[in-house]
Amino acid sequence: MERTLIASFEGNNIRKSWDEKSEKWYFSVVDVVGALSDSVDPRNYWKVLKNRLNEEQSEVVTKCNQLKLKASDGKFYLTDVADTETLLRLIQSIPSPNAEPFKLWLARTGYERIQEIC
């Protein structure tokens, strides 16, 4: 069973989904790219970044999966997602002053999950 939530990072909505089977959070890559890059078109930013990482033969892209997440129009679409480890590696590829605060935000998300199960 998956549980999808919307979290907020500095005013940006980040969709995340808990997968009980793997016991991991998966975060929408496009949402994270949008929060870090301040791009007006985060989907295109991710497309270009994904192509660049593929050309570099980076494992980061291959570790991204797709889950159906609810979009702003209320419908569910397949969306590129990454677990925390993959997301931390991806963040290194995005030049942003928000990278370090985002890493701390991810750490708090993990801490909150630990508190839920204790």
Round to whole Å and give the CA distance between 86 and 70.
22
Round to whole Å and give the CA distance between 52 and 54.
5
Round to whole Å and give the CA distance between 58 and 27.
19
Instruction: Quote the tokens at residue 99.
Output: 């990278």
Round to whole Å and give the CA distance between 1 and 17.
10
Domains of the chain: 2-117 (3.10.260)
What pTM was estimated for this model as a whole?
0.83
- CA dist 99 → 68, 87, 104 (Å): 26, 11, 9
1-21 tens-digit pLDDT: 456 788 888 889 999 998 888
23-56 tens-digit pLDDT: 889 999 999 999 998 789 999 999 999 999 999 9
